[in-house]
């Protein structure tokens, strides 16, 4: 992409619902980027342009800050996007397509996302069924490391629950499903064990947590089976979350001692409250992003000024060296040193002032009073 689209630097972010190209380029022409994606993925330009968006300079920096902070995600405040951004940065570094310009933006982006996570509660409360279920389990069990879990079903929600559980280092995962093959695929991904629905009653006493999410029209787990499991467990408590609609677990199971049963309705109440909380936190996060964008753009402008100063200093140093060498030659040729130094001073002054003088005269002739005022400020001249 860098070579084909003639870019200076580039990184590619690709997630389940976004593809973004972060580029450092000499021009503001996005057509070559569209052309590259079109060729690479064999898509028409019309298809791409219908869903494409672009940001430049300060707007691009703000967009990256918002993306990393979870402010531009389908699920407000979700944390996965930051890890995906870091991965995109690592891949680009390994490919040697990131240099100082994009590298500086990425480092600031990570810093802003960290501040948003630290200073606001935007990611503190779960807003997905899967994440809420696991968070609830963490409230019941102080640590999930020594717990065993049974997941009933093998759909997308159960897979997300399994992923969150694995991140919390659960000791054992059993996946129960109507078709053993599908259960085996999911169990293998998370180092678990696969069983059929018929085997649930015999395996139930070996788990501390049960999460169900199937499409069954009738309950899969009844009060009798849970009672028998509790007896075999010597009434060691069980935590159950039924996130299926209609229910997978008979409501009467919740009447049993030593069973904590929650349904999708319980989780939805929590999620609704948490979504409101995240909206309030998002406002604080937006303020942080705005402030950090302003600070970062100021830093960039300061870096531009430093580069200009270095260039100007180098120019003046060259003049000084040239005039110094002339003065040395004049003294060696017999000129009085004091006269040679005087000449050097006059010549150096004229050379340093030549270009500013030409520019100021032009500003005066064009009526650029603002530029003349700025020059007085720049050179430290008072009105007198």
Domains in the chain and their CATH numbers? 9-124 (3.30.460.30), 129-265 (3.40.50.720), 300-379 (no CATH)
Beta-bridged to residue 173, according to DSSP, are 149
C-alpha distance from residue 251 to each of 219, 222, 255, 260, 280 (Å): 9, 9, 8, 11, 35
16 catalytic per annotation: yes
| 90-145 pLDDT, tens digit each | 999 999 999 999 999 999 999 999 999 999 988 776 567 787 888 888 888 878 99
At 270 the pLDDT is: 73
Cα separation, 242 vs 226, in Å, equals 14
Handedness of CA 247, 248, 251, 254 (dihedral sign): negative
Measured in Å, how far apart are the chain's first and last C-alpha atoms?
Answer: 58
Instruction: Give the separation between CA 129 and CA 25, rounded to whole angstroms.
Output: 42
Q: What confidence score (pLDDT) does residue 231 get?
A: 95
- Choose the catalytic residue: 2, 8, 10, 16: 16
**Tokens (6 digits) for 188:** 């293998």
Q: Are strands 193-196 and 209-212 parallel, antiparallel or unpaired?
A: unpaired
CA torsion, points 270, 272, 276, 281, in degrees to nearest 10?
Answer: 50
Q: What is the CA radius of gyration of the chain?
A: 34
Angstrom distance (rounded) from CA 242 to CA 251: 10
Neighbours of 135 (CB within 10 A): 18
Tell me, what's the pLDDT at 127? 65
**Cα 292 off chain centre by:** 15
41: exposed, middle or buried (C-beta count within 10 Å: 0-12, 13-18, 19+)?
Answer: exposed
pLDDT averaged per 10 residues in sequence order, the chain, 384 residues: 91 87 86 90 90 93 95 80 94 96 96 94 74 83 90 91 90 95 94 96 96 94 96 94 92 94 84 78 93 94 81 90 92 92 92 90 89 86 68
Give 144-167 pLDDT, tens digit per residue.
998 999 999 998 889 989 998 998
Collect all residues with Cβ–Cβ distance below 8 Å to 111 and sequence separation of at least 6.
292
Phi, psi values for residue 150, rounded to 5°: -115, 125
Q: Count the alpha carbons within 13 Å of 79 in the hemisphere toward its beta carbon.
A: 13
pLDDT at 383: 58
pLDDT of residue 125: 67
User: Are 240 and 249 contacting, i.e. CB atoms less than 8 angstroms apart?
Assistant: yes
């Amino acid at each position: 992409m860098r070579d084909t689209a003639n870019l200076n630097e580039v990184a590619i972010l690709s997630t389940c619902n976004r593809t973004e190209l972060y580029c450092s380029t000499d021009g503001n022409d996005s057509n070559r980027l569209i052309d590259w994606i079109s060729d690479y993925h064999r898509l028409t330009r019309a298809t791409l342009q219908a869903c494409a968006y672009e940001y430049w300079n300060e707007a691009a920096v703000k967009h990256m800050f918002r993306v990393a902070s979870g402010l531009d995600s389908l699920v407000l405040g979700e944390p996965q996007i930051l890890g995906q951004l870091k991965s995109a940065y690592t891949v680009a570094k390994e490919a040697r397509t990131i240099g100082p310009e994009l590298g500086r933006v990425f480092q600031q982006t990570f810093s802003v996302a960290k501040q948003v996570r630290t200073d606001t509660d935007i990611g503190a409360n779960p807003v997905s069924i899967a994440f809420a279920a696991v968070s609830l389990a963490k409230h019941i069990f102080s640590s999930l490391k020594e717990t065993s879990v049974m997941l009933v079903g093998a759909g997308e929600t159960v897979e997300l629950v399994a992923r969150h559980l694995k991140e919390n280092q659960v000791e054992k995962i059993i996946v129960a499903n109507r078709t053993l093959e599908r259960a085996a695929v999911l169990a293998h991904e998370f180092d678990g064990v696969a069983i059929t629905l018929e085997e649930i009653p015999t395996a139930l006493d070996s788990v501390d947590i049960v999460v169900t999410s199937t499409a069954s029209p009738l309950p899969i787990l009844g009060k009798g089976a849970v009672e028998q499991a509790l007896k075999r467990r010597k009434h060691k408590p069980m935590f159950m979350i039924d996130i299926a609609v209609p229910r997978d677990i008979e409501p009467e199971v919740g009447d049993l001692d030593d069973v904590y049963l929650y349904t999708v309705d319980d989780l939805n109440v929590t999620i609704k409250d948490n979504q409101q909380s995240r909206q309030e936190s998002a406002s604080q996060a937006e303020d942080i992003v705005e402030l950090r964008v302003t600070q970062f753009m100021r830093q960039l402008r300061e870096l531009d000024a430093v580069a200009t100063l270095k260039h100007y200093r180098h120019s003046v140093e060259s003049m000084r060296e040239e005039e110094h060498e002339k003065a040395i030659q004049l003294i060696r040729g017999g000129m009085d040193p004091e006269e040679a130094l005087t000449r050097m001073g006059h010549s150096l002054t004229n050379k340093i002032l030549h270009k500013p003088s030409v520019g100021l005269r032009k500003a005066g002739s064009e009526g650029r009073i603002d530029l003349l005022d700025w020059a007085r400020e720049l050179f430290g001249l008072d009105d007198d």
